[in-house]
Amino acid sequence: MRKTLLSVLPTFALLAILAGCGDDTTAPAPTLTAQDKQSLAFFPTMVSDEKASVDFYAQIASSQAVGFANAFKPSTVPARVAAGTCTASTFDTTMVLQGMTLSMQITKADGTKFASCEDAALAYASNSGLRIKMTMAMTQSQQGSSMNMSYDMIYKPTVSTGGYTINMTMTMDMASTVGSQTTAMSINPMTAVVTAASDTATPTMTGSLTMTYNGLTISKLQFNDSGVVPSQTVDILKDGSKVATMTIDATGTATVKDLSGNVIKG
């Protein structure tokens, strides 16, 4: 084929064809190093562990949001106002607890600040909702670890039933150093919707998370209140390019494969 082309095409035309082909060439996928393969082999275990952690984070966020919203119910406002317990720190506060700095800001759903407890109660009673932004930062210098976490939640009550919907975005960065080895992990983002039909209903949750561990990213892993959603396949990225896949079967067992379909065992 090449000899035929050379015999019938002028030199300038051949160069033009070759140049055009070069323009369409895409860079090859990044190479998986031995360290990458060790990390990938750890992913199936890490996914279940991190989902348990995410459940815990979501429960904290949900309980915080519910607690704040209950504090602003119209029935509680007169007592709070009479006792003088509604201050600026009610809506914007920072605390330090056992080495962790926790900051919380409560506003209307659109981010507008509350003028008073009555203003907060009106937002609750009108079903327009509250916005809760929380950041947590912790450093343990002796153990060589640090963690930063943030929540951004829109809490919308269903006043008639006592139920609610929480739309939540969470990000988390964590790093630890043991000896000469540094481990870095991030969740950016985790998005979830937590819903309760009434004040006595068990909340349900659906969402997804993108998690990076030592430079490898699990993209958009789906989960719900029962755990990681079975029968799904997600991409694993390195430097933004797909380098492997992870499949969770009907039983919840995860398997990581390279792009040739080979199981990665580390």
Give me the pLDDT at residue 19, please.
36
Nearest to 172 by CA among 155, 188, 194, 156: 188
Residue 65: its pLDDT value, please?
62
**Could you tell me the CA-to-CA distances from 265 to 38, 102, 146, 198 in Å, in that order?**
7, 40, 29, 46
Question: Which pLDDT score is estimated for 126?
Answer: 73
Handedness of CA 134, 136, 210, 61 (dihedral sign): negative
Q: Is residue 244 scored above 60 in pLDDT? A: yes
Give the whole-angstrom CA distance, residue 83 versus residue 205. Answer: 37
Answer whether 0.85 is exceeded by the pTM. Answer: no
- Read off the pLDDT band of 51 (50, 70, 90): low
Q: Position of tokens 């600026």?
A: 88
What mean pLDDT, rounded, does the chain reach?
77
Q: What percent of the chain has pLDDT over 70?
A: 71
Q: What CA–CA distance (Å, rounded) separates 123 from 113?
A: 11
30 phi, psi to nearest 5 deg = -55, 150
- Contact in structure between 61 and 151 (CB atoms under 8 Å): yes
- Per-residue pLDDT tens digits for 29-44: 688 888 888 888 888 8
Buried/exposed 62-100: b ≥16 CB within 10 Å, e otherwise: bebbbebbebbbeeebeebeeeeebeeebbeeeeeeeee
Q: pLDDT tens digit string along 150-199?
A: 989 898 888 788 788 889 898 989 888 877 777 888 888 989 898 889 87
pLDDT digits (tens, 9 = 90+) for 87-110: 666 788 888 877 788 888 888 888
